[in-house]
């Protein structure tokens, strides 16, 4: 039995037993009420002139009004002013508005013809029970935005191949006004999921305090009733728009009843109306959805005053937070470990980070044009995104000093340095760069020659290189030995002036003439 009906039944019992001459203590024991409550009921009945039996046909509402200070004339003549419960229901959605405040305003307006606070609350709750189940909750203006996907998809035919693809339908509903947004996307994957949120905020022209999604994979990495783990990209979107993400509890559809009903309404008033249409692109489908969405938001409520758009303008719109200056740009996150060459890999390309992080884990934030590397939530590197597999993107500041010094030199730069000293030095450097499998393999030797120039001077280095080339030994070790022995300061050995070959004189040496004799015998 409802609480109000039980209360009026006991009130009537108090009046009957008091008229029978029983004491207040006995009456309290009989009706299971406190002595103070029985005393109040008895005093109110006496002031209202009520005795047992009560007047024939008196209703519980009239009896309640008489006991709470309304005159019999006002009740009997029908001048009692009942509250507008539909307006009360809408006003309660505003931040800070309570039933106590609304009753005070109602009493100030109607004076003697107003119900007491208790009856006022009872009448409103009775009205609220007649509304749909999902509307019994009181949602504060601008507080919650409920989001989900429809279970129903819409086919889109490829104009060239005739292939049919199924478009997903995203639905968002504001809690206080029921203002609804819907759009079609190709998938429920993270980029489409976040993109739909961005377009929803732009459609409503602001941001709610809380977004309530379901536990789909694009929103929640780990579903939990008490501590769900939000997808990092989704959390970044929430931080960008300064709102909170509070997923519905798993297997608790009442937590997102608004969007459950919103999905049903979208399916009945939009998707059902489009069932006979053939669409050839996502843009064409979204254009049709947007037209029907306008009609849906302008459709009058069945039990409440106005429509979704009117309720949105008066309730949610003034309470939404403004949109940020810049639109959210989608980025995905990945964890990577820094290799021994102080680079991290993403899709076959290698990006440098400070060499001190070798062996550490870093977070990669990948957007459309850039990749950021973060360590302990601090950005340590940022690079332009590259699609060249097997290649490296390296910043000099990320390298150790020894590597940095090595990388400053190129074959052309080394040859230019050698030419500035002399032709012999150039020839030794060129020999090192051209007689290795790869030019970089000769860098170390060339840099060693550079160090000799700082130690012995350019002139001595050039002289040592001339002697090394004359000895057909263009190696750093030879140049160093010449410098250490001081041979670079000695005159070069002169080549022989005679053109005759130098051969030892011996009877066993036959000479070229022997092979030109005609009587040479070949032994078998």
Q: Please state, in angstroms and rounded to a whole number, the distance separating the CA atoms of residues 23 and 268.
A: 63
User: What CA–CA distance (Å, rounded) separates 352 from 339?
Assistant: 10
Give the number of other Cβ atoms within 10 Å of residue 377's Cβ.
6
CA-wise closest residue to 411 among 384, 378, 438, 448: 438
Per-residue pLDDT of the chain (524 residues; tens, 9 = 90+): 344 444 677 888 888 888 878 888 888 888 888 888 888 888 888 877 777 877 766 667 667 766 765 554 454 445 567 788 878 877 777 766 788 888 888 888 887 778 788 878 888 887 777 765 444 456 788 888 999 898 889 999 988 888 999 999 999 999 888 899 999 999 988 889 999 999 999 999 999 988 888 877 777 765 555 456 777 888 888 889 988 888 876 655 555 566 688 888 888 888 888 888 899 999 999 999 999 999 999 988 877 778 889 889 988 899 899 999 998 888 888 888 988 878 888 888 889 899 888 888 998 988 878 888 988 888 889 898 888 888 888 888 887 776 665 566 677 778 888 888 899 998 988 888 887 665 666 776 787 888 888 889 888 989 999 999 988 888 888 899 989 988 888 887 665 444 444 445 555 555 555 445 544 444 44
Report the pLDDT value the prediction gives residue 80, as an integer from 0 to 100.
Answer: 60
Q: Are 165 and 195 in contact (CB under 8 A)?
A: no
Q: Which CATH fold topology does 144-319 show? A: Nucleotidyltransferase; domain 5 (3.30.420)
pLDDT at 259: 67
Residue 508's pLDDT is: 55
Residue 189 near residue 218, CB atoms below 8 Å: yes
Q: Catalogue the E-assigned strands of 343-377.
A: 343-346, 349-352, 361-366, 370-375
Secondary structure element (H or E) that encloses residue 406, with its range: helix 401-407
* Contacts with 106 (C-beta within 8 Å, 6 or more apart), sequence order: 83, 114, 115, 120
Q: Is the bond preceding 449 in cis, omega lying within 30 degrees of 0? A: no
Residue span(s) of the chain under CATH 3.30.420.10 come to 144-319
Tell me the angle at which helices 443-456 and 423-434 cross, rounded to the nearest 10 degrees.
160
**Under 8 Å CB-to-CB from 234, ≥6 apart: which residues?**
190, 193, 194, 218, 219, 245
CA dist 498 to 245, 446, 494, 506, Å?
97, 37, 12, 21
């Amino acid at each position: 039995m409802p609480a109000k009906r039980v209360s009026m039944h006991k009130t009537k019992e108090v009046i009957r037993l008091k008229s029978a001459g029983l004491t207040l203590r006995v009456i309290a024991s009989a009706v299971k009420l406190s002595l103070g409550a029985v005393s109040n009921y008895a005093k109110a009945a006496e002031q209202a002139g009520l005795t047992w039996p009560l007047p024939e046909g008196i209703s519980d509402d009239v009896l309640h009004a008489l006991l709470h200070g309304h005159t019999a004339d006002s009740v009997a003549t029908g001048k009692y002013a009942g509250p507008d419960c539909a307006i009360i229901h809408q006003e309660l959605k505003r931040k800070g508005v309570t039933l106590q405040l609304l009753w005070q305003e109602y009493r100030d307006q109607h004076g003697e013809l107003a119900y007491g606070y208790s009856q006022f609350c009872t009448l409103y709750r009775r009205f609220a029970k007649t509304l749909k189940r999902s509307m019994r909750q009181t949602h504060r203006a601008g507080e919650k935005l409920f989001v989900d996907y429809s279970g129903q998809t819409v086919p889109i035919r490829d104009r060239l191949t005739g292939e049919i693809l199924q478009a997903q339908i995203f639905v968002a509903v504001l809690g206080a006004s029921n203002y609804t947004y819907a759009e079609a996307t190709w998938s429920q994957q993270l980029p489409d999921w976040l993109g739909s949120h961005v377009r929803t905020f732009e459609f409503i022209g602001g941001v709610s305090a809380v977004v309530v999604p379901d536990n789909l994979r694009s929103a929640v990495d780990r579903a939990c009733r008490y501590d769900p783990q939000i997808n990092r990209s989704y959390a970044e979107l929430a931080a960008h728009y300064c709102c909170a993400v509070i997923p519905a509890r798993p297997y608790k559809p009442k937590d997102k009843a608004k969007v459950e009903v919103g999905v049903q309404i979208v399916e009945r008033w939009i998707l059902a109306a489009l069932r006979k249409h053939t669409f050839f692109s996502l843009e064409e489908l979204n254009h049709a959805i947007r037209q029907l969405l306008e009609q849906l938001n302008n459709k009058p409520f069945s039990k409440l005053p106005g429509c979704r758009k009117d309720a949105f303008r008066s309730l949610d719109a003034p309470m939404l937070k403004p949109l940020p200056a810049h639109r959210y740009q989608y980025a995905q996150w990945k964890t990577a470990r820094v290799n021994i060459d102080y680079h991290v890999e993403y899709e076959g390309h290698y990006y440098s980070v400070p060499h001190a992080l070798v062996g550490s884990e870093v977070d990669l934030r990948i957007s459309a044009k850039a990749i950021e590397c973060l360590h302990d939530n601090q950005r340590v590197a940022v690079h332009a995104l590259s699609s060249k597999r097997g290649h490296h993107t390296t910043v000099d500041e990320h390298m150790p000093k020894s590597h940095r010094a090595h990388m400053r030199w190129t074959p052309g730069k080394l040859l230019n340095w050698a030419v500035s000293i002399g032709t012999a030095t150039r020839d030794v450097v060129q020999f090192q760069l051209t007689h290795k499998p790869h030019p970089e393999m000769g860098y170390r030797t060339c840099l060693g020659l550079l160090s000799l120039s700082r130690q012995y001077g350019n002139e001595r280095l050039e002289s040592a290189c001339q002697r090394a080339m004359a000895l057909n030994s263009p190696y750093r070790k030879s140049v160093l030995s010449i410098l250490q022995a001081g041979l670079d300061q000695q005159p070069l050995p002169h080549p022989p002036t005679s053109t005759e070959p130098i051969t030892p004189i011996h009877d066993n040496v036959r000479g070229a003439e022997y092979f030109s004799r005609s009587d040479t015998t070949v032994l078998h």
